[in-house]
Structure formats: structure tokens, C-alpha cells
């Protein structure tokens, strides 16, 4: 059980800056952030710069029988945090990541299980983060999350994620 004010131990970096095992990362995430086990995450995959979750709607139902905006907002914020953390790990950085700003725009009700995707907002986002980490030891990246229920785009979100300096 997690204790308030006590950081959870970091997951060891993958050997040689390699890929994380997504199942292992999700298991660690569930220990580090107890809310994760209640989010309905079924699967996490990555394709290039796109990180995606498949989610069950049932844990996030509202009183109308559709997706609860607060739960979905938490999911988008956490997916961006995961994107940034996994990118750092792949590049050999064990750093703290925090969300600096997040917004959501709800476009349609979420009426069934769904897919949530995250990727950099700008084509040069990764290059900019890489440069700032090298020159200043810290950085920031803007990410976009999109929630798809079947072929319907139900939500677009944006977040700025700050990578804190080592130490």
C-alpha cells in the first residue's frame, strides 16, 4: 500500500535504452498510482510516436450511462505522462515528469469501450525536447490525446509535460 509523501521506487531502465515491456510497465504503474487499477485499461501499445490504450467504459460510467468527463480527463493526463515517461526511459533518462497544463474538448458522448491515443502535438516536439534536455537538463513537450469510440472522435485533449532536472 502506498504511503502519502513517500515516492514509489522507480522502475529500472530498460537495458541499453531499449523498449519497455508494456505489461511490466502497466503493472508498475498500477503500484505507483493506485487509481490505475480502476481506469479500465485493457491494453497499452506503441507504434512509432503514438502511444495507445484500449479501455473498457464500465469503470468510467457517469449517471447518464456514458463516459464520465472527470475520469476521461484523468486518463488523458495520465496517458500523456506515460508517453513522456516511456520516451525518456527509451532514451536512458530516469527523470520525474509532471503535467504543467492540460485541456480537454469533449466532442461526442462516449457510449462504449474506446481507444485513447497520444502523440506529440508538433512534428518538431521530440527534437525540441531532445535539444532542451541536452542543453539545459530539463525540458517540456506538448502532447495531444484523442479518444475514439469506434470511428467517432469523442474527445481531443492537449497537455504540456515538463521533464524535471536530475537530482
This prediction has a pTM of 0.95
For the chain, the structural domain boundaries read 18-163
Confidence at residue 45, expressed as pLDDT on a 0 to 100 scale: 96
Each residue's pLDDT tens digit, 99-132? 999 999 999 999 999 999 999 999 999 999 999 9
Spell out the alpha helix ranges (H) of 17-115: 22-32, 69-90
Q: What is the DSSP letter of 48?
A: T
Q: Which of 125, 128, 136, 29 is nearest to 79 (CA)?
A: 29
* Residue 5 phi, psi dihedral angles, 5° rounding: 85, -5
CATH code for the part of the protein at 18-163: 3.10.129.10
Contact 12, 83 (CB under 8 A): no
Contacts of 103 (CB under 8 A, 6+ apart): 157, 158, 159
Confidence at residue 136, expressed as pLDDT on a 0 to 100 scale: 96
16 pLDDT band, cuts 50/70/90, is confident
From start to end of the chain, where are the E strands? 41-47, 50-55, 97-106, 114-120, 139-149, 152-163
Amino acid at each position: 500500500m502506498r504511503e502519502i509523501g513517500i515516492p514509489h521506487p522507480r522502475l529500472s531502465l530498460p537495458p541499453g535504452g531499449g523498449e519497455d515491456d508494456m505489461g511490466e510497465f502497466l503493472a508498475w504503474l498500477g503500484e505507483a498510482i493506485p487509481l490505475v487499477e480502476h481506469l479500465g485499461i485493457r491494453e497499452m501499445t506503441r507504434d512509432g510516436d503514438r502511444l495507445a490504450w484500449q479501455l473498457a467504459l464500465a469503470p468510467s460510467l457517469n449517471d447518464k450511462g456514458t463516459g464520465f468527463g472527470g475520469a476521461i480527463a484523468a486518463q488523458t493526463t495520465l496517458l500523456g505522462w506515460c508517453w513522456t515517461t516511456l520516451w525518456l526511459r527509451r532514451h536512458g533518462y530516469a527523470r520525474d515528469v509532471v503535467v504543467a497544463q492540460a485541456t480537454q474538448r469533449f466532442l461526442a458522448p462516449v457510449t462504449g469501450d474506446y481507444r485513447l491515443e497520444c502523440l506529440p502535438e508538433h512534428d518538431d516536439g521530440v527534437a525540441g525536447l531532445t535539444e532542451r534536455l541536452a542543453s539545459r537538463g530539463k525540458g517540456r513537450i506538448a502532447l495531444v490525446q484523442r479518444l475514439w469510440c469506434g470511428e467517432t472522435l469523442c474527445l481531443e485533449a492537449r497537455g504540456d509535460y515538463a521533464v524535471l532536472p536530475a537530482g
